[in-house]
Structure 1
Amino acid sequence: MTIDAASLPYRPCVGVMLVNDAGRVFVGKRIDNKEGDAWQMPQGGIDDGEELHAAAMRELAEETGVASSLVTIIAETREELFYDLPEELLGRLWKGRFRGQRQRWLLLRFAGSDADIVLDAHDPAEFNEWRWVEPHELPDLIVPFKRRVYRQVLEEFGPLI
């Protein structure tokens, strides 16, 4: 069965660029990617009626265990950033309801320690490993269909990191 991607909406989503005091960025290795190294920054859907900052803090806590009291919001992308799913994932992710995501990204400064990062804070966990990386490394770590968005986030947040 062929899915007409153009007839599907984009999933509303928030992304979090979490940076430490050394200017490095948190990335987690996705548990559900069987093809190998799939690293990404925390991100997830915005629930109906949920405010953007609340969604960001919820996703951050679920995926990293980091409490909102340990972060400061530095910036938000000026506009939504979009990506489309590759054809092989259409119909498989999000119960086939979306063609991709429309994302707002927040830059957050982390004031905690590495001990504050707990990947299994939420069940099920999304990441099985994590690390701090240099910002310029991000596009090479992410799955190819999200690279353009990561480059846009870097372009906008890079001077603020």
Structure 2
Amino acid sequence: MTDLPTTDALTAQDTADGIQQQVVGAVIRDGATALLLQRPVDDFRGGTWELPSGKVDPGEDLDEALRREVAEETGLSVASVSAYLGAFEYTSGSGKHTRQHTWAVSVEPGEIQLTEHDEYAWALPGEKPVSDEVLKLLARGDARDG
């Protein structure tokens, strides 16, 4: 098992760095493919493909938020968290300095149920247009699997 940074340490670093909003993301694999979700066209970064991810609620632990967001966005339950893949920063639609922390996770068997996205796809890297940050996270996940 890969050493995972504590969520307290990540949150403390975010606070020290002036991060205004934390986001959690998950790389969920099915063999060589990863689950990607397409944002609604009329939403922030509309139409883009992304990992299951979402905002951390005030006072919420990062692990708790990760499990909640995966369930809310996909209908799937996180079975285990296997690796911390890293973080990237961006300015949110509301102008907040945001940092997304992403982990490799496995999920319990189940049917995907979308509530916040238009489509989903199990895709190989490069099959769907994703941000450079997501491509890097997927590559880190591949390196850990290999």
What secondary structure sits across from 1:137 in the alignment? Answer: coil
Rate the CA distance shift 1:105–1:44 in 2: closer, same or farther, 3 A. Answer: same
Calculate the TM-score normalised by the size of structure 2: 0.73
Shift of 1:111: 4.3
Q: Give the corresponding residue for 1:137.
A: 126
More strand by percentage: 2
| TM-align CA RMSD | 2.5
Task: Tell me the distance in 2 between the aligned counterparts of 1:58 and 1:19.
Answer: 18
Q: Give the corresponding residue for 1:127.
A: 117
Q: Deviations over 1:66-112 (max 9, x none)?
A: 123xx3211113x5321345xxxxxxx23x4x14x201101012341
Alignment match of 1:118 (pick from 109, 113, 121): 113
Task: Tell me the distance in 2 between the aligned counterparts of 1:24 and 1:42.
Answer: 14
Larger radius of gyration: 1
Aligned length in residues = 127
Alignment match of 1:155 (pick from 134, 139, 144): 139
Q: Deviations over 1:34-73 (max 9, x none)?
A: 78742111111111221111111100011001123xx321
Calculate the TM-score normalised by the size of structure 1: 0.67
Gap runs ≥5 in structure 2: 1-17
1:29 paired with 2:38, answer yes
Q: Give the corresponding residue for 2:12.
A: none
Q: Percent identity between the aligned chains?
A: 24
> RCO (CA 8 Å, sep 6+): is it higher in 1 or 2?
1
